[in-house]
Structure formats: C-alpha cells, structure tokens
C-alpha cells in the first residue's frame, strides 16, 4: 500500500508539472502571437496640451522652391521636417545637405514613391532601406521618421516601418498645395485649422513659398511654437 501511495503521489506531481508546463507554453505562444499581430500606429499629431506645431514637407519634386523656403525658415528662426524621397536625393544631394546643415530634420519618404498598399512587407522594406542608405550616405544620419507616399497605411507598410524602427508620420492639417491653389487659400487652410500638436503637410510649390510667411507670422502671433516633427511627437503615450 505504501508503494502504491508513493506511486500515486509521484503521478499526481508529474501531472501537475505537466499542466504547469503546458500553461507556460500556451502563454508563450499567446505572447508571440500578440507580438506578431501588434503593429505600430500612424501618428497624426503631437500632444494636445502643448501649443506646438510642426511643418512637414514631402520632397519628391519642387527643388527649385526649396532655397527660398530655407531662406524663409532662417528669417523666421524656425526648423521643420523634410521627408525626402530617395530618387530625389540621388538627383539633388547638395540640397539635402543644405537642409540638414540649416538644422532641419530629415525624414524619409521612401525611395521610388510607390503605392505602399500595393506592395508586400518585403517590397516596402526594400523601398525603405534603399532610401535610408541614400540619405545616410548623403548626410551621415539615419532617418527615424517615415512619411508614406499617398498617406497609405495598410498592414504591410506599417509592419515594414515597424521593422525599420521608424515612427510612421501622417498629418492633421493638409495644405493640399500640390493642387497649387492661391497662397491665401493655403494660409486659410492652415491657420483656420491650427491646433495644439498639429502636423501640417506641405510640398515645395510656388504658392506654398508665398503662403509661408503669413502662416508663420499668424501662428506665432497666436502663441504657437514651431518645432520639428521628432520633437513634437517625443514622449507620446
């Protein structure tokens, strides 16, 4: 009887340890599945309790307007974030160096301006990595911010950006300046929608250049501080 009791005790302990092991294996599988399913979220704006605003300029064309934009930013003593496209940097590396030397933040807009939602994760990764290498080779700085072409934000491009350790930047105010409206239209679009933590999307165009001084002066008069996107989104929850 004593031998039987000992065997039963050993059996109970073995079953108990087996159940515990299964529990932790199952828990590990659940955690890994959660990690695979979790994707970074696009960032549309900074903190709502800080009166700060950031200008984000996507650059794949319009290089003829960038020197004037740089002059305006210098005169107004503000820094912005340029999201540079890889093929553009290949053609105009000296302009990118001037942006960086002037203290502006350089993010990436990808290499060839594809539709990210039409690419696989690996396709997006190739596009991002090619652009990153060109930017790094030009200014010896690795971009940390990524603005997707066309504002597309499907699972494949989000996962690729996460793998590249990028912050995925969109916007809360769109100038729609690529349509080249009158400068006063651009000014109204920005000033009327200004809010704490806003990210303002723009491009290098002639009406944008003409609208910038009014935008900056009016928002400064309302108490807004112009900062780079990286600073605007720092310490977001």
Residue 159's domain is classified under what CATH number?
3.20.20.370
pTM reported for the whole predicted model: 0.84
Q: What is the DSSP string of 70-131?
A: HHHHHHHT---EEEE-HHHHHH-HHHHHHHHHTT-EEEE--SS---GGGS-HHHHHHHHHHH
What are the structure tokens assigned to 132, written together? 């990153």
For residues 136 and 148, what is the distance between their CA atoms, to the nearest angstrom? 18
Q: Is residue 45 situated within a structural domain?
A: no
Task: Report d(CA 216, CA 194) in Å as an integer.
Answer: 11
User: Are 169 and 82 members of one domain?
Assistant: yes
- Residue 181: inside a domain: yes
Q: Is residue 44 part of a domain?
A: no
Is 159 a member of any domain? yes
Number of domains in the chain: 2
Whether 79 is covered by a domain: the verdict is: yes
The boundaries of the domain holding residue 13 are 1-38
Which residues are bridge partners to 84 per DSSP?
Answer: 59, 108
Write the pLDDT tens digit of every residue in 149-195. Answer: 999 999 999 999 999 999 999 999 999 999 999 999 999 999 999 99
102 and 216 together in one domain: yes
Do both 74 and 28 map to the same domain? no
Query: Is the same domain home to 142 and 119?
Result: yes
Structure-block tokens of residue 157: 């491009």
pLDDT in tens, 190-230: 999 999 999 999 999 999 999 999 999 999 999 999 999 99
């Amino acid at each position: 009887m004593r031998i039987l009791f000992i065997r039963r005790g050993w059996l109970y302990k073995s079953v108990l340890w087996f159940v515990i092991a299964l529990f932790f294996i199952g828990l590990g599988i659940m955690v890994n599945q959660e990690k695979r399913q979790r994707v970074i979220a696009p960032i549309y704006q900074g903190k709502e309790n800080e009166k700060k605003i950031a200008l984000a300029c996507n650059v794949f064309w319009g290089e003829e307007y960038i020197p004037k934009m740089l002059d305006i930013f210098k005169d107004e003593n503000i820094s912005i974030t340029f999201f540079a496209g890889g093929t553009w940097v290949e053609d105009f590396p000296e302009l990118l160096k001037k942006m960086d030397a002037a203290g502006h933040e350089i993010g990436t807009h990808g290499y060839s301006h594809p539709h990210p939602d039409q690419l696989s994760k690996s396709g997006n990764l190739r596009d991002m990595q090619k652009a990153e290498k060109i930017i790094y080779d030009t200014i010896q700085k690795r971009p940390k911010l990524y603005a997707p072409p066309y504002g597309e934000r499907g699972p494949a491009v989000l996962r690729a950006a996460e793998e590249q350790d990028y912050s995925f930047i969109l916007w809360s105010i769109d100038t729609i300046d690529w349509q080249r409206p009158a400068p006063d239209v651009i000014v109204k679009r920005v000033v009327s929608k200004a809010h704490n933590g806003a990210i303002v999307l723009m491009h290098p165009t002639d009406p944008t250049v003409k609208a910038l001084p009014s935008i900056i002066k009016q928002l400064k008069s309302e108490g807004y501080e112009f900062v780079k996107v990286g600073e605007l989104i720092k310490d977001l929850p």
